[in-house]
Structure 1
Amino acid sequence: MQILTVEDVVTQTKPPKLWLNVAHDMFFSQHNLSMRTFVLSVSRRVIVNYVSSPEVGFLRSIVSRFRTGPTKLVFQFLRPDDVEPSTNQKYGSLLRNLTFIKTFATGILVPKYYIWPVDSSQYLQNHTSLVLDAHAAGLEVFASDFVNDDAALPYDYSYDPLAEYLNFIDNGNFSVDGVLSDFPITASETVECFSHMGKNETVQANLLVISSEGASGDYPGCTDVAYNKAVSDGVDILDCPVQITNDGIPFCLGSINLRDRTNVAQTDFGNRATNNPDLNIENGVFAYNLTWAQIQTLRPAIFNPFSKFSLFRNPRARNDGKLMHLSDFLALANNASSVSGVLISIENAAYLAEKQGLGVIDAVLDALSKAGYNNQRGKKVMIKSSDSAVLSKFKSSSNYELVYLVDEDVHDILNSTILEIKKFASSVVVSKNSVFPTDQALVTGESRVVPKLQAFNLPVYVQFFRNEFVSQPWDFFSDAYVEINTHVSTMAINGVITDFPATAAKYKRNRCLGDRDRPLYMAPVQPGGLISLITNQFLPPAEAPYPVLRENDVTEPPLPPVMERPPTQNGSTETGPTPPNGQPTPVASALLSCFAILLPAFVLC
C-alpha cells in the first residue's frame, strides 16, 4: 500500500466530504515547514470540508481565510490534563470557555469520554452537559476514539459497538453532530439503518432468533434474569439446556459440570470434584450428584468464553439471578407473549440412563405435558440433540420439531448423510465455521453445507453468534451485524443461536433490509476477500480442511434402558462423592475423605 497525497485520496476514492487534521503545526514550524501554507494551497485545488487541529494558534492563523466557503474549522480537545501549546492552558480549562473557542472554530472534536465518562470499573457514568452546552454556544460536536475491537468498551454496551454509537446519537437527550471512527461501516449503518428504531419495528428478515442460555452475554446463563432479558431484547425462541439432578429434577444449565456455570467450587460441594472419562471431563462437580435442593443453594456464575483475552461479561451481574427448574422455565416462556417457542437441548442422555439411572427424556416429556405444551398450538417446541437416538425417542412420542446438532466443524455433507438425518430430525444446527470456514480468524471461503441441507427441506440454524470482537473473523470488521448479515444475505440461514439476542433482534428489524437498493454497508462480505489481499509470505500456515459429514457420523445406537437405582440405607437415592469412573461410592475411607478435601484446593490454586 502506497502513501497517498491529499489529491490522491480525492482522485482515487472520490469521498463525499474531506476532513484534514493538522496535529502538530508547532512542530512543523520549528522545522521551517508551514502547515498553514500547505492547507491554504490544498484548499485551492480540492474542496476541503473540515480542518481540525488541537492547536489554537494554528486555527486562529487560518480562520480569516475560511470565514466564507465550504470549509469548517474544528478545535480538537486532547486529554483534559494535556496542555495546549499556544495558550499554555490545559484542555480541561479551555472546555469551560466555549465562547472563546467559537471565535475561531465552528465545532469541537472531543474524546468520547468527555461526553459519556467511564468509571474505574468500566461502566458508564451519567453523561455530561458538554453537547448541550456546545450547541448552545453555536458549536457542532464531533466525538472521537470509536473502535470496534475495543476491549475497554463499557460493559453497558454488551460488547456491541453499534449500541455505543446509538448512545451518542439516539439517547433522547442530545445527539452529537458526527463521530470519528476506525470502523466507518459500523458508524454508517448505525445512523442510516438502526437509529430511532423501536423494538416493534417491522421485521425485515425472515430469521429466527434463538437464545443461547437466555441473554447469557449479559447475565449468568439459564437464570431468570437471563431469560427475562432475552424476552425484553426480542428473542423468538427461548432455550433450555436440560440437566438432571440426583433426585430426578430437570433444570436448565449450560453444562453438566456445575463448575462451569455456578460457584460450586467455592462451596462445600466442591469436594465432590472428580474425573469422568465417559464425559471427557476432569475435576467436575456433576449435576447428577446433587439434589435440586442442594443445587438451589448455589449461586449461578456468568460464563466468560473469552477470558483468555481479558474480555469479561458484566462483572456487576456475575452471580445474579436464580437457576430454573424446567417447569418454571416453561411457565416463563408460556407467559411471554412475544416468544414463539422453546428449544430444549438434551445431551448425555445415554450416559445418564445407563450409568446414573436417570431418565432425562422421560423427565422432559413429563414437564412439557404438565406445562400444557402438548395441548396448545401457540408455542413451538423444539428438541435439540447431537444424539440421533434422543431425537428418535422423541419422534416416536411427540410432534415436536426435532433439531439435530452437528457438533463438529464440517466443510461438506453427503446427500446420503442428509437422508439419514431426515429419518430422525426436521432441522439442523451447524457451527459458523461449517458455513464460512476460517484459518487463523480469516474466512477462506464458503461451504455448501447450508444450501445442501436446505435443498432437502431442512431449515438450518447457526451457532454461536456473539458480540465480542474476538469471536468474529477479521473479515467482518469486528461487527456482529456484518457477520449476521453475511450469513443471512449470502447463505439464507433460517436462524441464529446467540448469547446476545438483542443484537440479532435489532438486525432483523433494521430498515435498510427493506430498501430496494441497499447501501454498501449493508452488503454481505465477500468470503475469502480479505485473505486474498495477503501476500503469500504473510499467509498463515494452511490448516487441514474440516471433515465431510458421513452417515456413520450421525447414527447412534438406541438409548439404553434407565438403570434401576438401588436405595441407600435411609431410603433415598442420593449419591455422595464419585470416584474417577463417575460412579457412586457408598463407603468413603478417611484417606479418601482427606483427598476429596485437598483436590479442590489444588484445582483452585
Structure 2
Amino acid sequence: MFRFSRLLLLVTAAMAVFPSGDLLAATLTGAPPIVIGHRGASGYRPEHTLAAYELAIDMGADFIEPDLVSTKDGVLIARHENAIAILNPTTGAITEATTNVAELPQFANRKTTKVIDGVSITGWFTEDFTLAELKTLRAKERIPQIRPQNTAFDGLFEIPTLQEVIDLAKRKSAETGRTIGIYPETKHPSYFDAIGLSMEEPLVATLTANGYSGQNAPVFIQSFEVGNLKDLSTKTNLPLVQLLNASGKPYDFVLSGDSRTYADLATPAGLAQIAAYAQGVGTNKNLLIPRDSNSKLLAPTSLVADAHAANLLVHAWTFRNEDTFLPLDFKGNPAGEYERFFSLGIDGLFSDNPDTAVAVRNRVAGNPTQSVPEPNLLLGFVFLPLAGLWRRRQTSLKKS
C-alpha cells in the first residue's frame, strides 16, 4: 500500500506541473505531448540542415530529429537517405536531390546504381564519400514542387554531422533555458552493417561522449528495423522507439524470413513484444486514424490505447501544413488535424511545421504562449513504469 501511495504522489506531482485537461489525462504520463521538429523545421528550410534544426528550436520544438547515415570514413551525418541525389535510370533526369552533388563535375564518376533495402537506386550515396568530401556539398530543398519558397535557401547550408546537431541542441538549450532533445533515427541499419559501416557503435559512442545516458536523458533513438533496436538495447539505456509504417515490414524481417509485418507489430501481441526492448512506438498517423480512398478520415483505431496498455509512448508522424498532405477533412486547416490527433492521447508528434504544432499543442493544453520544457516532460517519462502500474491498477479496480 505504501508503494502505491508513493506512486500516486509522484504521478500527481508530475501532472501538477501542467494545467489539467482531457488532453493531459489521455497521454501515457499525463504530460502534454512533445513536438519533434521533423528533419528540423523542414517546411521552411531545406531538411536536415543546422538552419532547419535551429529554426525548429526557435519555433518551440522540444526535440529535433536527425536521420542518420554513414560516410565512407564512418562518420554519422544527417540525411534522410544515403542517396543524396537520385536519377531516373532511363532518362538521367534528377528525380530527387537533397544536395547539389549531381551538379559537380568532380563527383560525376561517383554516380552508381545500388540496391538499398530491395530497391534499385541510381545516384550518389553518402557511403562513397568521405566527410571532407561531403562537406564541400550544399543542401537543396527535397520537394521544390511543393515548397518552392524553400529553394531560396538552396546552396547555403552544409550537411551536418551528428556531433554538430548535438552541439546546436546544447547551445540552444543554454540560450533558451529549455532542454532541447535529439531524436536520431538509424537509416537502413542492415544495409550499413552489410557494407561494414555499422551504425549502432558510433551512435552510442557519440551520445555517451556527450553525456547522454539513462532513461532521463533528452534522447530517443528510433528505427524502422527491429534487430538494430534490440542490439541497441544491449548497448545503451537510452529510450528506444520502434517505428511502425502503415504497410510493409521491417527490412531485417525481409532478410531473415520473418513473416511478421508492421500491422502485426501494431497488435496488442506485437506491442507486448516491442515493450521488451523499446519504450515507445513511432506510428504512421494512418495507423491511428485511417483514411478512405478520398483521403477522408475514418474512425480511430485502438492503437494508442493498446500501446499505452503495454506501457509504450506513442509518437505520430508526419504532420505537414500543405493541402497535398492533409486529409480531406482538414484541407486548409492544418490546426484542425493536429487537434484531432491530440484528442487521441498521443504522447508526441513529428512535424515539418513545428510553429503550428507547438501553437496548437499549447492552446489545447491550456498554456497558449509557453513552450513546454523537456525536463518537465521527461519527469513523466521517468515514471513510465509507475504510470503503467497506475493504469493496471485502475483497470483492475474497474473490472472488480
TM-score, with length taken from structure 2: 0.72
SS state of the match for residue 47, structure 2? coil
Stretch of structure 1 that moved more, 322-331 or 479-488: 322-331
Partner of 2:172: 336
Q: Is 2:48–2:159's contact at 8 Å kept on the other side of the alignment? A: yes
Distance 1:321 1:217 in 2: 16
How far the C-alpha of 1:343 sits from its partner, in A, is 0.7
Residue 249 of structure 1: aligned partner: 75
> 2: CA distance between counterparts of 1:246 and 1:274?
15
| Equivalence for 1:507 | 360
Which residue identity is paired with 1:500?
N
Q: Measure the CA separation in 2 of the matches of 1:374 and 1:446.
A: 35
Cα distance between partner residues in 1 of 2:115 and 2:231: 26
Q: Deviations over 1:377-399 (max 9, x none)?
A: 5x411110011111111111211
Is the counterpart of residue 393 in structure 1 residue 208 in structure 2? no
Alignment counterpart, residue 218 of structure 1, candidates 8, 20, 44: 44
> Counterpart in 2 of 1:320?
156
Q: In the TM superposition, what whole-angstrom CA distance separates every residue of 1:506-534 from its partner, at most 9, and x where no partner exists?
A: 11222x6539xxxxxxxxxxxxxxxxxxx
The reply on whether 1:448 has 2:302 as its aligned counterpart is: yes
Q: Which residue is 1:488 aligned to?
A: 342
SS class of match (2:221): strand
Deviation at 1:284, TM superposition (A): 2.4
Deviation (angstroms), 1:440: 2.3
Q: String of CA shifts for 1:85-138, please: whole Å, max 9, x gaps.
A: xxxxxxxxxxxxxxxxxxxxxxxxxxxxxxxxxxxxxxxxxxxxxxxxxxxxxx
Structure 2 residue runs without a partner (length 5+): 1-17, 24-31, 86-96, 248-261, 368-400
Asked if structure 1 preserves the Cα contact closer than 8 Å seen for 2:215 and 2:239, the reply is: no
Deviation digits for residues 379-426 of structure 1, max 9, x if unmatched? 411110011111111111211110000133477832221111112211
> How far apart, in 2, do the equivalents of 1:202 and 1:225 lie?
33
Distance in 1, Cα, partners of 2:200 & 2:103: 31
Q: AA paired with 2:193?
A: A
The Cα of 1:270 is off from its aligned counterpart by 3.8
The one-letter code of the counterpart of 2:366 is G
Q: CA deviation at 1:271?
A: 3.3
What stretches of structure 1 of length at least 5 have no aligned partner? 1-200, 516-605
One-letter identity of the residue aligned with 2:115: P
Residue of structure 1 in register with 2:190 after alignment: 350
Give 1:297 deviation, angstroms. Answer: 0.6
Q: Shift in Å at residue 347 of structure 1?
A: 2.0
User: Shift of the alpha carbon at 1:445?
Assistant: 2.5
Which residue is equivalent to 1:430? 283
Alignment of structure 1 residues 19-38 onto 2, 5 Å: none
Task: Tell whether the 8 Å contact from 1:216 to 1:303 is kept in structure 2 after alignment.
Answer: no
The alignment covers a number of residue pairs equal to 308
Local SS of the residue matching 1:503: helix
Contact preservation (8 Å) 2:215, 2:237: no
CA RMSD of aligned residues (A): 2.4
Describe the shift of the 1:403–1:375 C-alpha distance in structure 2 as closer, same or farther (beyond 3 A): closer
Distance 2:185 2:267 in 1: 25
Identity in percent: 26
For residues 572-587 of structure 1, what are the structure 2 equivalents within 5 Å?
none
The Cα shift of 1:311 comes to: 4.7
Q: Which has the larger radius of gyration?
A: 1
Distance in 1 (alpha carbons) for counterparts of 2:220 and 2:305: 22
Pairwise CA distance, 1:333:
1.0
Cross-structure match for 2:322: 468
Superposed displacement of residue 254, structure 1: 1.4
Contact 1:203 1:509 in 2 (8 A): no
Equivalent position amino acid for 2:182 in 1: V
**8 Å contact kept, 1:404–1:428:** yes
Question: d(CA) in 2 for partners of 1:375 and 1:278?
Answer: 33
Distance in 2 (CA, whole Å) between partners of 1:299 and 1:291 is: 15
Instruction: Report the Cα offset of residue 241 of structure 1.
Output: 0.7
Whether 1:263 and 2:100 are equivalent positions in the alignment is yes
**Structure 1 residues 152-208: Cα deviation after superposition (integer angstroms, max 9, x where no partner):** xxxxxxxxxxxxxxxxxxxxxxxxxxxxxxxxxxxxxxxxxxxxxxxxx98986111
Per the normalisation by structure 1, the TM-score is 0.48
Relative contact order, CA 8 A, sep 6+: which one is greater?
Answer: 2
In the other structure, the counterpart of 2:121 is: 282
Deviations 1:49-69 (A, max 9, x none): xxxxxxxxxxxxxxxxxxxxx
Residue 576 of structure 1: aligned partner: none
Distance of 1:203 and 1:506 partners within structure 2 = 17
